[in-house]
Chains A and B, each alone.
Chain A
Amino acid sequence: MTLVNTMLDDFILRAVLAGLGLALAAAPLGCFVVWRRMAYFGDATAHAAILGVALSLTFSVSIFAGVLAVALAMAFTVSSLSGRGFAMDTMLGVLAHSALAFGLVAASFLSGIRIDLMAYLFGDILAVMPADLAVIWGGAALVLGLVGWRWSGLLTATLNPDLARAEGVDPRREQLVLTLALAITVAVAIKVVGALLITAMLIIPAATARPFSRTPEAMAGLAVVIAGGSVIGGIEASYHLDTPTGPTIVCVVAILFMLSVTSAGLKGRR
C-alpha cells in the first residue's frame, strides 16, 4: 500500500499537512539561521520549549501558548546577550542545555498528570488533531509572512550591519523579527519533530540546498522543496519501517544532505 492510498486515512493526511506546514516555515527561516550562524541560538530556543510544556500543563494553558511564551523569553534573552562581549557559544551551550534540564525536572513534578515526554522531545506527528493543524498552519503563515515581508532588510542586515544602517535598515529590528519568527517556529514544530530535532529542520534543508543555489531566494525555495520532500518521504518510510516518524523525517533530510555534499564535492573536483 502506498502513501497515496493511505491518504484517505485521516491521521496520515494530517501528519503530512502538519509536516508540510512546518517545512514551509522552517526552511526559509533556516536559511537565515545558517547564514547568520545561529544554529546554537535555535537549539537554546527549542530546548526551552520543554520547560514551556511543563509550565503549560501546570497552569492548564494550551501547550502552544506555553511553549511560545517560554521560547520567546529564551529567544529574547539570547538575542539581548549577543554582541555584549560574552563568549557566545559557551553562553548558548549553557542556556540550551540548562533549559532542557530544568524543563525535564519541572515535568517530573507533574505526577498527577501523565505526560508522554517522548512526544515532546521527538514529536508526535501522527497524533496531530485538526485543531493542531490550524495552529501549525497559522504559525507557519505568520513566520513565512514575517520573513517574506522583511526579506531584503534581513538580507542586508545579514551582509553587513553598517551597510544596512546606511540604507535605512535597523539591524536590531531585523534581529528582533528573526527572534520572533524562531520562537513561533519552535512552538509550531514541537508537535511535529519535537524539541530536540527542531534545529535539524531549520538548518539541514538550508545546508542541503546551498551547493545548488546561486541566489538567496533560490536557496530558500530549494530548501522548502527539500524539507517538504523529506516530510513526505519520512512519513512514508516510517509507515513501512514502523519507526518513530519525527526522527525518520530528520533521517531522510540528513541523507539528502549527505548526497548533496557528496555530489557538490564530486562536481568541484571535476
Chain B
Amino acid sequence: MTLFEFTGVSLRLGESRILSNVSMQMAAGEIVTIVGPNGSGKSTLLRLLIGSLAPSDGRITTAPGLRIGYVPQRLALDPTLPMTVARLLGLRRKVSAGQIEQALAEAGVAGLSRRQISALSGGQLQRVMLARALLAEPNLLVLDEATQGLDQPGVAAFYRQIEEVRQSRGCGVLMVSHDLHVVMSASDRVICLNGHVCCQGAPQHVASAPEYRALFGEGTGGALALYTHHHDHRHDRVPQEAAE
C-alpha cells in the first residue's frame, strides 16, 4: 500500500523556486529520511504533505485513511503560556490519563504528565511531542528536524526510540535530517533533496569505519549511520538568481 505520492510537484513562492518536479512515494511501514543542505526544501516538502502549503504544480495524493502523526521542529512555547504535558497531549482529542501515560511510556518519558512543558529538556520535549503524535494512532509518523538541538547521544537515543515505535506499531516514518551525513541506520531509504530529488538509496552501514567510531564513540548503539553519496553533476538552478 502506498501512503502518499508526489507527482511532479513544484513550488514557487514569489520569485523563488523552492521545489521543482519532485516525484516520490512512500510505502506503508517504510522509514524514509530526507537529507539536504539548508534551504533545500526539506521542511517545505513536509509542509506540502501536511497541507500547510499547496503545490504550484504537480499532484499530491494520499491514501484514504492516512493518519499522520506530526512532530514539529522544536516547539517554541511562549513563556506566557502555561501548559502541562497532560494538557498538551489532550489538547486535540479526548484521551484518558491511562492513554496519556501509555503514550509517554512508549515515547520513553513515562511519568512526566504533570510537568510543565517549559521545564522539560530538549530531548524530553521531543519525546513528549512524539507521544502526542502517537495518540493519533498514526500510520505515518512525520518528523521535521526532530533532533535539532540534541547532542549526538541524544540524537542516537531518539532514533532508537523511533525505531522501537516503528517495530511495535508498523507505521511508516518520514523524517528530515538537518545533518547531511548522519541519518538513522534503520532507514529503508534516504532521499537527498536540493530543490529536486538528487539521489536516493539505502544508507550504508559504516560500523567498521574508524573515523565514524572516533567521531561518535561506541555509545550510539548502531543507531547512526553515514549516508555516502557523490554529487557528480551540477544543478541548473543557480541560487543567486532567486535572490536577485
User: Is B243 positioned at the interface, with any CB of A under 8 Å from its CB?
Assistant: no
| A215 partner, pick from B70, B75, B83, beta carbons under 8 A | B83
Stretch at the interface among B84-92, B181-189, B196-204, B222-230: B84-92
Residues of chain B with a CB closer than 8 A to A160's CB: 72, 75-76
| B116 partner, pick from A163, A214, A219, beta carbons under 8 A | A214
| A162 pairs with B50, CB closer than 8 A | yes
User: Is B144 positioned at the interface, with any CB of A under 8 Å from its CB?
Assistant: yes
In the bound assembly, the distance between CA atoms of A215 and B85 in angstroms comes to 10
A14 to chain B, nearest CB (A): 34
User: Is A79 positioned at the interface, with any CB of B under 8 Å from its CB?
Assistant: no
| B78 pairs with A218, CB closer than 8 A | no
B110 to chain A, nearest CB (A): 20
**Chain B residue, CB-CB nearest to A170:** B51
| B82 pairs with A215, CB closer than 8 A | yes
**Chain A residue, CB-CB nearest to B46:** A162
Residues of chain A with a CB closer than 8 A to B82's CB: 210, 213-216, 218-219
| A167 pairs with B92, CB closer than 8 A | yes
**Chain B residue, CB-CB nearest to A171:** B52
Q: Mark B190-214, 1 if CB is under 8 A from A, else 0.
A: 0000000000000000000000000
| A165 pairs with B80, CB closer than 8 A | no
Q: Mark A158-177, 1 if CB is under 8 A from B, else 0.
A: 11111101110100000000
| A165 partner, pick from B50, B77, B91, B92, beta carbons under 8 A | B50
In the bound assembly, the distance between CA atoms of A214 and B81 in angstroms comes to 9
| B72 pairs with A163, CB closer than 8 A | yes
- Count of A-B contacts judged by CB separation below 8 Å: 65
Pick the most buried of A158, A159, A161, A169: most chain B CB atoms within 10 A of its CB: A159
In the bound assembly, the distance between CA atoms of A206 and B82 in angstroms comes to 11
Where chain A touches its partner, the secondary structure class is helix
| B87 partner, pick from A158, A206, A216, beta carbons under 8 A | A216
| A35 pairs with B52, CB closer than 8 A | no
Q: Mark B68-111, 1 if CB is under 8 A from A, else 0.
A: 10101001111011111001100110000000000000000000
B91 to chain A, nearest CB (A): 5
User: Is B131 positioned at the interface, with any CB of A under 8 Å from its CB?
Assistant: no
Which of under 10, 10 to 19, 20 to 34, or 35 or more describes the interface residues of A?
A: 20 to 34
**Chain A residue, CB-CB nearest to B79:** A210
**Chain B residue, CB-CB nearest to A161:** B52
| A156 pairs with B51, CB closer than 8 A | no
Residues of chain A with a CB closer than 8 A to B81's CB: 35, 158-159, 216
Q: A161-B52, A165-B50, A167-B92 known; A207 and B87 CB under 8 Å?
A: no
**Chain A residue, CB-CB nearest to B82:** A213
Q: A167-B92, A218-B82 known; A162 and B72 CB under 8 Å?
A: yes
User: Is A37 positioned at the interface, with any CB of B under 8 Å from its CB?
Assistant: yes
| B78 pairs with A162, CB closer than 8 A | no
Q: Mark B31-58, 1 if CB is under 8 A from A, else 0.
A: 0000000000000001100111000000
| A162 partner, pick from B84, B136, B144, beta carbons under 8 A | B144
Residues of chain B with a CB closer than 8 A to A88's CB: none
User: Is B142 positioned at the interface, with any CB of A under 8 Å from its CB?
Assistant: yes
| A162 pairs with B70, CB closer than 8 A | yes
A74 to chain B, nearest CB (A): 24
**6 closest Cβ pairs, A-B complex:** A166-B70, A166-B50, A165-B52, A213-B82, A35-B81, A215-B87
Excluding A162-B70, A169-B92, 4 further A-B contacts by CB distance (< 8 Å) are A36-B78, A162-B50, A166-B50, A206-B80
The 30 sampled A-B contact pairs (Cβ below 8 Å) are: A35-B81, A37-B78, A152-B91, A152-B92, A155-B91, A156-B92, A158-B78, A159-B81, A159-B88, A160-B72, A160-B75, A161-B52, A162-B47, A163-B70, A163-B72, A165-B51, A165-B52, A166-B50, A166-B51, A167-B70, A167-B136, A206-B80, A210-B80, A213-B82, A214-B84, A214-B116, A215-B84, A216-B87, A217-B87, A219-B82
